[in-house]
Amino acid sequence: MRVLIIGGTGLISRGIIKHLLARGADVTMYNRGQRQAPIPGEVKAVHGDRNDYATFEKTFASQSFDVVIDMICFSEPQAQSSVRAFGGRCEQFIFCSTVCTYSPQTPGRVIVDENFEQNPVTQYGKDKVLCERVFEQAQSDGKFKVTNIRPSSTYGPGNPLIDNIEFNAVAWDRMERGRPVICGGDGLGLWVSTHRDDCGKLFAYSALNPKTYGQSYNATRERNFTWRDFYREGASVFGKKVNLIFMPADWIVAHDPKRFGVLDGITRYHGAYDSSKAMRDVPEFRCEIDWPRGAQETLEDVKRRGAWRSSDNDPVYESMIEKALAAGVKPVEA
């Protein structure tokens, strides 16, 4: 099986490549060559910028692959470029989409499956919907078979670890040092965190699996939980308990809209997904890495890389804590 992955050195890409190599696939990755990432085994590299559409498309004009996996397509023009590059030159095209394509409302069945309305809040989600439509049209035109895979929050070594209010969360240092942590809402919002090695399995084993042609799949682990669970189990990595200070999302975001943008656009809403369709059609897709174990591995890696974010000298966070306590908000043990 000849597979081309657009990206390849990023977080989820590395989980995918690990499982593709385990399947014995012949893997080529395409990226700008700006990141030194440990890729296990033999992976061929082609360097270039996908946003230079003419060169990108010419690079692959005389090549064909069984499967192309596009990890870094975020806009309609990029999607159209991929169709020009790979239409008629691959059997299957796997597009890495996102659960941010769904409406943030809570569905009647509570957990979002792949049929739920795609009415996103973020520009990121809106653009990914447009990409999905481009690829579906390409399938209708007979250019290739398309599989949309929609990860939700995916984490793992090589990247920082998110919390409820920011991507590169200072909360981990606060938890380790027994300091209280701020959480949006009442901490009862639903969430799911999936390790990139588990997520990568769905991409790798969807490859050349005819059941996945023309289908969309959520790529999350089975256990949805609340933010209180997220923090309690996260703090257990340090053998600690954590005190949470619950404040309204708008109040937190107003303190630094850029820093707390993830809360504004994503984590203030329920983020709970049903991936049973993926497990049905791709039996190899089983998530095995539980949250405390994956969080521990990721946090150890952050420390090893010297990327640990200290909670000292963080006047924005400190002023939020002071204001909340002064207003009479009581910390709650998660």
Min dist CB 140 to ligand NAP, Å, is: 22
Which SS3 state, helix, strand or coil, does residue 165 take? Answer: coil
Torsional sign, CA 246, 249, 251, 252: positive
Report the residue closest to ligand NAP, judged by CB.
10
Residue 86 or 246: which CB sits closer to ligand NAP?
Answer: 86
Min dist CB 178 to ligand NAP, Å, is: 28
Residue 180 or 294: which CB sits closer to ligand NAP?
Answer: 294
Residue 13 or 147: which CB sits closer to ligand NAP?
Answer: 13
Residue 56 or 317: which CB sits closer to ligand NAP?
Answer: 56
Task: Count Cβ neighbours within 10 Å for each residue of 65-90 and write b for 16 or more, e otherwise.
Answer: bebbbbbbbeeeebbbbbbbbbeebb
Residues at the contact surface with ligand NAP, assessed by CB under 6 A: 7-13, 31-35, 49-51, 71-72, 96, 98, 151-154
Min dist CB 6 to ligand NAP, Å, is: 7
Residue 139 or 152: which CB sits closer to ligand NAP?
Answer: 152
**DSSP states along 263-308:** IIIIITS---B--HHHHHH-TT------HHHHHHHHHHHHHHTT--
Taking a C-beta distance cutoff of 8 angstroms, is the pair 63, 204 a contact? no
Min dist CB 159 to ligand NAP, Å, is: 7
Question: Distance of CA 4 to CAs 13, 95, 225, Å?
Answer: 11, 12, 35
Half-sphere exposure for 175 (CA within 13 Å, toward CB) = 27
User: CA–CA separation, 167 vs 263, rounded Å?
Assistant: 9
Q: Among all chains, which residue has been given the structure tokens 């965190």?
A: 193
For residue 68, what are its two tokens?
């192309």
For residue 149, what are its two tokens?
């895979």
Residue 43 or 321: which CB sits closer to ligand NAP?
Answer: 43
User: CA–CA separation, 331 vs 244, rounded Å?
Assistant: 5
Min dist CB 139 to ligand NAP, Å, is: 19
Min dist CB 251 to ligand NAP, Å, is: 25
Q: Per DSSP, what are the bridge partners of residue 190?
A: 226
User: CA–CA separation, 332 vs 229, rounded Å?
Assistant: 13
Residue 96 or 146: which CB sits closer to ligand NAP?
Answer: 96
Min dist CB 332 to ligand NAP, Å, is: 27
